Structure 1
Amino acid sequence: MDIGVLLPTGTAQWDPADDPRELVALGRLAERSGFSSLFVNDSLVSPRIEALSMLAALAPATETVTLGTAALMPFLRRPVQAAQSLASIDLLSGGRLTVTVGAGFPGRFGRPLYTLSELPWDRRFARLDETVGLWRALWDGADAFHGEILRFDGIPPTTRPFRADGPPVWLGGATPAALARTGLMYDGWLPYPPDPADYASGLRDIRRAAADAGRAAEDITPALFVSVRIDDDVEGGRRALEGYARAVYGMPLEELEKIQAVVTGSADQVRQRLGEYVAAGVRHIVVRLGALGLSSQRDQLERVADLIPAVRGAAARASFTPGS
């Protein structure tokens, strides 16, 4: 059972006096506190530290934690250059990189970014899958790639990653098409369904698709992206999380909870709710800390760290039969 944390790289999550260089120190604190991974997200919607730059800074500053994206949007980058950057981070971290990818969403989180990237919105999922296929080919030493959308010949030698097969690539998303594509070609799944039952059913669909493709269930890491806030004053905690939802997403908490996994309450309440996702099959939890300001983020980090042994114990006790 792995439990990681999403670092607050967006300026909307900082206090005015916060120094962004403290993010590296926060990552080191998370590693010392027992978290097994550090993730960063990727967007042009609001100012933030660019995702791959953040991971490159964390690579020499940490020793054992997985470094991941949640989620990287490949259409924001030239595909060959992105393969080079990801391989470089994998090298610098000694093979600790995991890449979660996504194609963006309708509205301000998607179509306008494609316009800025000078790419069509149509066939975005096919472009995403081909981009991942191109990366894997380049990491394996290919000098050409011929897809339906991406076609390259005469590619000069590119940086090879630390691991011979390159970093694992996970997919975000929970539509039926995303579930089928995860089972067919991705190494992990990182959704954020509000209901653990939806997670369990999605994971069953992925494993069926994997079996149909001749893949083993163990080839795909079942992960979860979840916003967490622990507070002894439960109502006060919800008010703080309300402020977080409005600052980061521009929407009330009530609306955010309808579309994303959000867990808040006392330590026991949070432990029990995370345990429901563990029972649904989750084996890598990526926690986004529901707090504004790096000082409050550190406080929440320490509170969640106290739950790590209990959540891992729940995973050890959970019985999950692949394909069930």
Structure 2
Amino acid sequence: MDIGVLLPTGTAQWGPNDDPRDLIAFGRQAERLGFASLFVNDSLISPRIEALTMLAALAPATDHVTLGTAALMPFLRRPIQAAQSLASIDLLSGGRLTVTVGAGFPGRFGRPLYTLSELPWERRFARLDETVALWRSLWAGADTFHGDFHHFTDIPPTTRPFRPEGPPIWLGGATEAALTRTGRTYDGWLPYPPAPADYATGLHHIHKAATEAGRTPTDITPALFISVRIDDKHSPHSRTALDAYARATYGMPLDQLEKIQAVIYGTPDEVRARLHEYATAGAHHIVVRLAALDLNSQRDQLERTAALLPTLRP
């Protein structure tokens, strides 16, 4: 099983004296501790280091970890420029980029971003799929593209990624339509279902859709995004710390967040057991978001999570 970590690129995860330049050292520490990947998320609502800028900085500073987005929202960027940036990061990292994409969701993390991007909320999923198709076409050397949303002719030569086929593209989302689209089109799946049984059901749907589309289901990477808090002993402190994290990050209490996202906390044994439940449900690549609100506490949680790595198996 591959275990990755989400870098705390948002200001909500920084203390008053934290230096964002320390995120590079944080990523290098995670690589030394044995994590398989470094992921960053993407938004215009919550102040943070821009996702592709962060990955570009990490590319020459790391050696072998996968660099990923969780999740990139393509509608925030012009599609050809985004294809150039992603290809460039794949080149700079020697082919270590993985791109998880999403279309946003209702609420303050969805519609307002489309308004700022001057794009309609309607048909957002079709626009997302077509943008990914455009990227893949450009990376293959195409000089024209005609779809429902994008029409380009006489495209000059664009930057080609390290791998001829380009970086793998995963989809975030767990609606029935998202599961079908993952099985038909995408290279991986990165959801955050609150129950392992929901994960298993979703993965079964994806495999069925892949088979019907003539694809090999095992070619689709089953990943998981999950918030984690590890403490020495089970106590109310763990839940209190997670509640503070949920309020700072999402503006909602923990009892609301854990109804819609995967969240685990407790002793190392309790967290290990919960992660194994998701592994049993089929998850092979787990991206851990560390529930702490300053970089020193993030480093502590990073080391606690790293101590579990030798015992986690698919």
Query: Structure 1 length normalisation: TM-score?
Result: 0.96
Measure, in 1, the Cα distance between the counterparts of 2:150 and 2:42: 22
1:111 has 2:111 as partner: yes
Deviation at 1:233, TM superposition (A): 3.7
Measure, in 1, the Cα distance between the counterparts of 2:201 and 2:298: 32
1:305 has 2:295 as partner: no
Equivalence for 1:320: none
Equivalence for 2:101: 101
Deviation at 1:135, TM superposition (A): 0.1
Measure, in 2, the Cα distance between the counterparts of 1:311 and 1:184: 30
Deviation at 1:154, TM superposition (A): 1.1
Deviation at 1:264, TM superposition (A): 0.4
Measure, in 2, the Cα distance between the counterparts of 1:227 and 1:46: 18
Measure, in 2, the Cα distance between the counterparts of 1:292 and 1:173: 26
Equivalence for 2:206: 206
- Mapping 1:33-112, distance limit 5 Å: 33-112=33-112
Equivalence for 1:124: 124
Deviation at 1:309, TM superposition (A): 1.1
Structure 2 unmatched runs, 5+: none
Deviation at 1:151, TM superposition (A): 1.2
Deviations 1:122-175 (A, max 9, x none): 100000000000000000000111111111111111000000000000000000
Measure, in 1, the Cα distance between the counterparts of 2:233 and 2:118: 48
Kindly provide the amino acid, as one letter, of the partner of residue 77 in structure 1. R
Measure, in 2, the Cα distance between the counterparts of 1:27 and 1:48: 16
Measure, in 1, the Cα distance between the counterparts of 2:309 and 2:151: 45
Kindly provide the amino acid, as one letter, of the partner of residue 67 in structure 1. L
Deviation at 1:311, TM superposition (A): 1.1
For this pair of structures, how many residues does the alignment match? 313
Measure, in 2, the Cα distance between the counterparts of 1:260 and 1:48: 21
The SS at the match of 2:108 is helix
Measure, in 2, the Cα distance between the counterparts of 1:281 and 1:259: 19
Measure, in 1, the Cα distance between the counterparts of 2:77 and 2:101: 12
Equivalence for 1:266: 267
Equivalence for 2:237: 236
Deviations 1:289-319 (A, max 9, x none): 001100000000000000011112xx1xxxx
- Mapping 1:1-12, distance limit 5 Å: 1-12=1-12
Identity percentage of aligned residues: 76
1:257 has 2:267 as partner: no
Query: Which structure 1 residue ranges, 4+ long, deviate > 3 Å from structure 2?
Result: none
Deviations 1:26-54 (A, max 9, x none): 00000000000000000011110000000
Equivalence for 1:176: 176
Kindly provide the amino acid, as one letter, of the partner of residue 60 in structure 1. P
Measure, in 1, the Cα distance between the counterparts of 2:243 and 2:115: 32
Equivalence for 1:135: 135
Equivalence for 2:189: 189
Measure, in 1, the Cα distance between the counterparts of 2:90 and 2:57: 12
- Mapping 1:214-229, distance limit 5 Å: 214-229=214-229
Measure, in 2, the Cα distance between the counterparts of 1:276 and 1:93: 33
The SS at the match of 1:259 is coil
Deviations 1:259-283 (A, max 9, x none): 0000100000000000000000000
Measure, in 1, the Cα distance between the counterparts of 2:184 and 2:40: 25
Query: Structure 2 length normalisation: TM-score?
Result: 0.99
The SS at the match of 1:210 is helix
Equivalence for 1:322: none
The SS at the match of 2:149 is coil
What do you get for the CA RMSD once the two structures are aligned?
A: 0.6
Kindly provide the amino acid, as one letter, of the partner of residue 184 in structure 2. L
The SS at the match of 1:238 is helix
Kindly provide the amino acid, as one letter, of the partner of residue 280 in structure 2. A
Deviations 1:211-248 (A, max 9, x none): 00000012100000000000124321111111111111
Measure, in 2, the Cα distance between the counterparts of 1:241 and 1:262: 9
Structure 1 unmatched runs, 5+: 316-324
Measure, in 1, the Cα distance between the counterparts of 2:130 and 2:137: 10
The SS at the match of 2:68 is strand
Equivalence for 2:25: 25
Kindly provide the amino acid, as one letter, of the partner of residue 142 in structure 2. A
1:291 has 2:292 as partner: yes
Measure, in 1, the Cα distance between the counterparts of 2:127 and 2:263: 30
